[in-house]
Amino acid sequence: MGNRTKTQTIGWLFVLLSTVLITIFYFYPMLQALLLSFKSGMGNNLENVGFSNYKRLFSDPTFIAALKNTFIYLLFQVPLMIGLALVFSVLLNDPKLKFKGFFRIAIFLPAVTSLVAYSIIFKNLFAQDGIINKFLLSLSFVSEPVQWLTDPLLAKIVIILAITWRWTGYNMIFYLSGLQNIDRSIYEAAELDGANGFQIFTKITIPMLKPIILFTSITSTIGTLQIFDETMNITKGGPGNSTVSISQYIYNLSFKYTPDFGYAAAVSFVIVILIVFFSFLQFRVAGDRK
């Protein structure tokens, strides 16, 4: 056996177990879910219905509401979170800043908290008798408790705030890592040329962090399109499906309503299509054609 063939054989042996496990636990279930999306019923009573489940999507008001809500979360939350993460990373990368370690841990800490636990905390914070309303009443900003969780618009805002609080620190760590690999002499040269802080941020920091920004934008988009815990635990999709997400609707179709696994599988592939579309769009906008 030649050295090249031997090296390739050893390499395949190393990745064989991972390849088999990924195929069994990822690709095979995905294929079965795709086949299931063309069926209707449950258990052993499944019957082929062709593209009926996909046609049903366009006339399903609950799905349309879930799709609209998910787009709203995506449109407002992802740019807000990415922007805050960038600002925090730049501030915490300042060599003159004291207690940087404390601030970094404080901002990153929400990312390691339990999804269910933090969702319940936000639900209690913004409850009618929660701390937020008590604080606003004590300062006379409002004359009566704000209906944060029962008003359609305010409930969406609470969920957007919750997701932003949870994941901003996670993205900030990526930007901090990238910033620490940028040569300080580049910033010093810009300052000598008379560039102000905003110009340095927009002309140097953002372009040099472009690959990381693209990565975090895509992962944040994927995460937001799959949002479930926040809408489930904070508002349960209410009031009147005004905060329900696509993932929560899939759960409801499978376990809350009369089970319809075929239609639930069809809805789940809408998320797949959206992830592929937005990932491709972000690559094009970023100018990365690889």
Tell me which long-range contacts 53-61 makes (C-beta under 8 A, separation of at least 24).
Answer: 53/262, 53/263, 53/265, 53/266, 54/266, 56/263, 56/266, 57/266, 57/267, 57/270
Q: Are 159 and 73 in contact (CB under 8 A)?
A: yes
Res 3 pLDDT > 80: no
Amino acid 21: pLDDT: 92
256 phi and psi angles, rounded to 5 deg: -100, -50
Res 288 pLDDT > 60: no
Name 40's bridge partners.
Answer: 47
Domain extent listing, the chain: 55-285
19, 97, 140, 215, 271 from 178: Cα distances, Å = 31, 18, 44, 12, 30
Q: Are 39 and 48 in contact (CB under 8 A)?
A: yes
pLDDT in tens, 15-45: 898 889 999 999 999 999 999 999 987 777 7
19, 22, 25 from 15: Cα distances, Å = 6, 10, 15
Nearest residue to 148 via CA among 164, 131, 163, 165: 131
Confidence of residue 188 (pLDDT cuts 50, 70, 90): confident
- The CATH fold assigned to 55-285 is MetI-like fold (1.10.3720)
Q: What is the average pLDDT value for the chain, to the nearest integer?
A: 90
Whole-number Å distance between alpha carbons of 213 and 118 = 26
Only one residue has tokens 């993205």, namely 171
Show the 3-state SS of 148-165: CCCCHHHHHHHHHHHHHH
pLDDT in tens, 113-141: 999 999 999 999 999 999 999 999 999 89
Amino acid 233: pLDDT: 94
pLDDT in tens, 217-258: 999 999 999 999 999 999 999 898 999 999 999 999 998 888
Res 289 pLDDT > 60: no
Amino acid 287: pLDDT: 67
Whole-number Å distance between alpha carbons of 255 and 280 = 33
Q: For residue 45, give the DSSP letter.
A: G
